[in-house]
Amino acid sequence: AASKLEVSMPAVVEAEIGSTARLECNFHIPGNGSYTYINWFYIDHRNNRVRLCHITGTEILEENTDYKGRLSVGEDKALSISKVTVLDTRTFVCQVGAGSHGEGENRTELHVYKVPEAPEITANSAGISVQSSDIPQIAQCVSRNSFPHPNITWHKNGEKLQPEEKKVKIPTTLTRESSGLYTVSSTLFAHVTREDRNSLFYCTVHYWLQGQSHAVESQRVNVTIFYPAEHVKLQVVPSSALVKEGDDIKLVCEADGNPAPVFSFYKRELEDNWQDLSSLADTNSGVLNLHGVNKSSSGLYRCQTLDLDDMRQMEKDVELVVNYIEGVRVKMEPSSPLQEGDSVRLSCDAHSPVALDYQWRDEKGRKVAEGNQLFLSNLTFETSSNFSCKVIAPSVPGLEQSKQVAVAVQGKPRIVAISSPLYVRQDEVVNLTCKAIAFPRPSVHWNVNGTAHEYVENQHIASNLTVRVNHDLLRAGAMCRVSNALGVSEKHIQLLDQKTPESKGVIIVAIIVCILVVAVVGSVIYFLHKKGKIPCGRAGKQDITKPEARKDKIVVEVKSDKVSEEAGLLQGANGEKRSATDQVGQSVVHSAS
């Protein structure tokens, strides 16, 4: 094998359009001989050889061909072609001459390629009817600027679609552009069903590169499908079981066709006549609005649909029940006028198509009992009030009604508060107050003249009398008299003379002065004792009446006949009377000890 000239080349070389293709030429000359020349050729469409260049030693002779200016030869004698185009797809030959070893050659197929652009898919925007007799167009797929041309396949929900007679057609159009690149267009025609309303269609472009298959998928598209309704549903919103008088409700009619049919609404009247309510409804959306429903709104309602495609009609009925409470009444036993101490029974009743609960509340809204009866015993004026029976439908939130009843306890007046005794001063203007409770409403009278003001709250009445205090009023007081048709009550207000503030002030000042005098005397005696002016014990007594002693003068000033008299009453332990001086000295001793 080594005794023969051998030339080896790759069978195929691939290059992308616009890039540089490199064609290698490897050769072996026996005995490590050298080549004499190398020729590069290409085979034209007529199968003729056209020489591109001639290489001898270090010289390269390039021929005048279409490749002139795009060729280059490497040190390994490989031929490079720059800016390849689709026209460069052909066979190239490398020929090697080696003198006495003869001549040898080999060839390479240059394949030029262009990866296709991502496919563009366009869905049918007009919509497709399942009742179409012709096979409708689903979508179109276009792949541009590829070489060589690719193939296009179609898929629905991930499954590949194959042409099928009278069901699926996939025609393809191949166009070669002026650039030599290909544009491939494929269209999918297929029958659809109502289940295809959610189907996703897409196309895939397949091409080969370097001996391997590649694929590029388009976006997924959904196609509008038209199909007749098969079912109609009519419902009350909110639920009919929760509808009460005064509510705003909707009757919602839904059909599973596309497009939605035309809706009509009716209500059954007497003798199986139907009242047309379509003027109150949105016939396109299938909604009938009923505002402020009442008991008479209850009944059978019908929704009727009309498919404009095949003019087929469908209908559905629903029963509307409007829950209500009516005829709320309260009965009081006994019904005769009530007196203090009596008892009464209140009974509440109402009518409704649903179960009812009863509550009793006082006039402040506080719940006092449950059940349809309320028993009140030992009635008083304070018991008198407005009670309400609240009727509730637990199964229908918000459905309730109330009825009030007045429980009035009658009796003669009872005075509950009076401003007595009242301390006053002569000629002072005062307010006399008298408060009573009674029903029927009483009147208040005073036995003295003045300006009266009355205040009424429930069964209470209060009277304030403004008067000026005189001698007669202080002596006799005032009388409050309260009366109604059932009796009279009266009470006396006692007025007491109050001392003037000036006399009280004199007494207080005198007390304060006495306290201050005692405090000063005590301080002086304590000071003299500390200085030794007053010795401790009887033996050391000093005459505090000497004029030359300054502190003695202070003591003399606080002496009084009253002190002398009190000192004369003091006695020693042996029962003998002591002088005032002795008592003062004794007091000092006790204070110091």
Question: Which is more confident, 381 or 196?
Answer: 196
Give the pLDDT band (50/70/90) at residue 240: confident
Q: Which residue has the tokens 């006549």?
A: 273
**Is 40 part of any domain?**
yes
Residue 26 belongs to domain spanning: 6-113
Give the per-residue pLDDT at 505. 57
Give the per-residue pLDDT at 159. 95
Q: Which residue has the tokens 């019908």?
A: 302
Share of the chain above pLDDT 90, in %: 60
**Do both 107 and 127 map to the same domain?**
no
β-strand partners of 89:
none
Asked if the model's pLDDT at residue 437 lies above 50, the reply is yes
Give the pLDDT band (50/70/90) at residue 518: confident
pTM summary value: 0.56
Percent of the chain as helix, strand, coil, to the nearest 5: 15, 45, 35
Give the per-residue pLDDT at 581. 35
**Do both 195 and 154 map to the same domain?**
yes
**Is 536 part of any domain?**
no
Residue 16: which residues within 8 A CB-CB, separation 6 or more?
84, 112, 113, 114, 115
Asked if the model's pLDDT at residue 471 lies above 80, the reply is yes
Kindly state the DSSP code that residue 258 receives in the 8-state scheme.
B
Distance separating alpha carbons of residues 317 and 297, to the nearest angstrom: 15
Mean pLDDT of 249-273: 91
**Do both 361 and 421 map to the same domain?**
no
Which contiguous run of DSSP H or E holds residue 440?
none
Asked if the model's pLDDT at residue 340 lies above 90, the reply is no
Give the per-residue pLDDT at 184. 97
Mean pLDDT of 512-522: 82
**Do both 342 and 356 map to the same domain?**
yes
Q: How long a stretch of residues is the chain? A: 593
**Taking the CA of residue 536 as centre, how many other CA atoms within 13 Å lie in the half-sphere pointing to its CB?**
6
Asked if the model's pLDDT at residue 196 lies above 90, the reply is yes
Domain at 130, CATH number: 2.60.40.10
Between β-strands 326-333 and 344-351, what pairing exists: parallel, antiparallel or unpaired?
A: antiparallel
Question: Which is more confident, 29 or 593?
Answer: 29
To 10 degrees, the CA torsion angle through 234, 237, 239, 240? -70
**Is 558 part of any domain?**
no
Give the per-residue pLDDT at 532. 61
Distance separating alpha carbons of residues 216 and 205, to the nearest angstrom: 5
Distances in whole angstroms, Cα of residue 73 to Cα of each of 64, 83, 157, 258, 286: 16, 15, 53, 70, 80
Give the pLDDT band (50/70/90) at residue 501: low
**Is 193 part of any domain?**
yes
CA triple 16-19-20, angle to 5 deg? 115
**Do both 164 and 71 map to the same domain?**
no
Distance separating alpha carbons of residues 244 and 453, to the nearest angstrom: 51
**Do both 18 and 105 map to the same domain?**
yes
**Is 551 part of any domain?**
no
Asked if the model's pLDDT at residue 503 lies above 50, the reply is no
Distance separating alpha carbons of residues 545 and 552, to the nearest angstrom: 6
Mean pLDDT of 6-33: 92
Single residue among 299, 320, 341 that ends a domain in this structure: 320
Nearest Cα to 49, choosing from 113, 95, 97?
95
Give the pLDDT band (50/70/90) at residue 523: confident
Do 68 and 42 contact (CB within 8 A), yes or no?
A: no
**Do both 127 and 213 map to the same domain?**
yes
**Do both 312 and 242 map to the same domain?**
yes
**Do both 396 and 428 map to the same domain?**
no
Distance separating alpha carbons of residues 320 and 300, to the nearest angstrom: 6
Phi, psi of 81 (to 5 degrees): -120, 120
Mean pLDDT of 402-408: 89
Give the pLDDT band (50/70/90) at residue 535: low
Between β-strands 225-226 and 128-129, what pairing exists: parallel, antiparallel or unpaired?
A: parallel
**Is 47 part of any domain?**
yes
Distance separating alpha carbons of residues 137 and 210, to the nearest angstrom: 36
Give the per-residue pLDDT at 517. 81
**Is 134 part of any domain?**
yes
Q: Which residue has the tokens 């301080």?
A: 523
Distance separating alpha carbons of residues 314 and 307, to the nearest angstrom: 9
Distance separating alpha carbons of residues 65 and 42, to the nearest angstrom: 11
Single residue among 359, 379, 407 that ends a domain in this structure: 407
Nearest Cα to 423, choosing from 500, 497, 504?
497
Mean pLDDT of 339-352: 91
Give the pLDDT band (50/70/90) at residue 500: low
**Is 576 part of any domain?**
no
SS3 call for 8: strand
**Do both 48 and 11 map to the same domain?**
yes
Give the pLDDT band (50/70/90) at residue 440: confident
Single residue among 113, 131, 165 that ends a domain in this structure: 113
Which contiguous run of DSSP H or E holds residue 492?
strand 487-493
Give the per-residue pLDDT at 565. 35
Asked if the model's pLDDT at residue 115 lies above 70, the reply is yes
pLDDT in tens, 119-142: 999 999 999 999 888 999 999 999
Amino acid at 155: H
Give the pLDDT band (50/70/90) at residue 498: confident
Q: How many domains does the chain have?
A: 5
Give the pLDDT band (50/70/90) at residue 569: very low
Asked if the model's pLDDT at residue 329 lies above 90, the reply is yes
Give the pLDDT band (50/70/90) at residue 290: very high
Kindly state the DSSP code that residue 116 receives in the 8-state scheme.
P
**Do both 395 and 428 map to the same domain?**
no
SS3 call for 30: helix
pLDDT in tens, 448-466: 988 999 988 877 899 999 9
Classify burial at 460, counting beta carbons within 10 Å of its beta carbon; exposed 0-12, middle 13-18, buried 19 or more: middle
**Do both 197 and 253 map to the same domain?**
no
Least confident of 63-77, 323-337, 383-397, 489-503: 489-503
Least confident of 25-29, 60-64, 123-127, 532-536: 532-536
Asked if the model's pLDDT at residue 537 lies above 90, the reply is no
Average per-residue pLDDT in the chain?
A: 84
